[in-house]
Amino acid sequence: MIETLSLFRPLNQKLIDLLKVIPKADWSKKTVAGAWTVKDVAAHLLDGNVRAISMYRDHAELKPDVVINNYSDIVQYLNRLNADWVRAMNRVSPEQLLEQLEQTHEPYIQCLEKLNPFENAMFSVAWAGEEVSTNWFHIARELTEKWHHQQQIRDALGQQGILTKQFYKPVLETFMRALPHRYKDIGSADNTSIKITIESEAGGTWWLEKKAGQWILLSQKGDQIPSVTISIPADLSWKIFTKAVQFENVRSLITIEGDENLALPTLKMITVMA
């Protein structure tokens, strides 16, 4: 279990403190989130708060208005849902948006705190290949959403503050749980080992090993010599894993020692619904 609940309030406070002091023109700055501006990303964060409160506190049934048959259907549906909200928020001022972000965060986190961490979540963590997830993993996924969207804002504004061991390490721990799923179709022999390092104090090292036909994620070194070692700068890793950049365009910044083909599933890993 990755404990993340204690991080939501301080992480949100950093967002509020930042947005309170930026010049009005900065709300229109482009981010790495496609066509979204700083204001659009902030609006998306509000959407997450409001949806969670509606479903968990108010027991609203927010059912899809289209048939969902597969992962691609889910992604298309969510993309449309997200775009609709952001488009509607264009008529809302940054000041009102900031007020609503402040007002909704506490009810939002209270909803998460009431969940039994070991019961099944309302939504699975699909990017990790799970059809059913526990609430603690769902909550950890929620933290990755709050973290990486705030990081998109900070990146656009040239502001540091959350690429730290306190916040980014648990985000990475959550991201890395997608690795076994990403390697499931790689036909390597048993005892194949992969070492992944995210550079800096905020990062860490993980090992992926194949045992009895299954890929196992390890947080400490296993028995095998790695077939490939991958090292990614921390400030680049979040952009790769959230589809802000494609690794082919930043290959020169990544260190790979060993079988480069075996590194590809890590470098193509997407830990958002995209």
**Cα–Cα distance between 198 and 37 in angstroms, integer?**
28
**Of the candidates 270, 6, 274, 33, the residue with the CA atom closest to the CA atom of residue 140:** 6
266 — pLDDT class (breaks 50, 70, 90): very high
**Of the candidates 56, 167, 174, the residue with the CA atom closest to the CA atom of residue 108:** 56
End-to-end alpha-carbon separation of the chain, Å? Answer: 25
**Cα–Cα distance between 87 and 82 in angstroms, integer?**
9
The domain limits of the chain are: 5-162, 180-267
pLDDT digit string (tens) for 27-43? 999 999 999 999 999 99
85 — pLDDT class (breaks 50, 70, 90): very high
Rounded to whole angstroms, the maximal C-alpha distance in the chain is: 58
pLDDT digit string (tens) for 129-179? 999 999 999 999 999 999 999 999 999 999 998 999 999 999 999 999 999
pLDDT digit string (tens) for 188-244? 999 999 999 999 999 999 999 999 999 999 977 777 899 999 999 999 999 999 999
The order of strands in the sheet holding 228-233 is 214-218, 204-211, 193-199, 228-233, 255-258
**pLDDT reading at 62 higher than 90:** no
| pTM for the model | 0.95
Classify residue 210 by its DSSP letter: E
Please name the CATH architecture into which domain 5-162 falls.
Answer: Up-down Bundle (1.20)
**Of the candidates 199, 217, 258, the residue with the CA atom closest to the CA atom of residue 207:** 217
74 — pLDDT class (breaks 50, 70, 90): confident
Indicate the CATH number of 180-267 among 3.30.1050.10, 3.40.50.300, 3.10.105.10, 3.90.1150.10. Answer: 3.30.1050.10
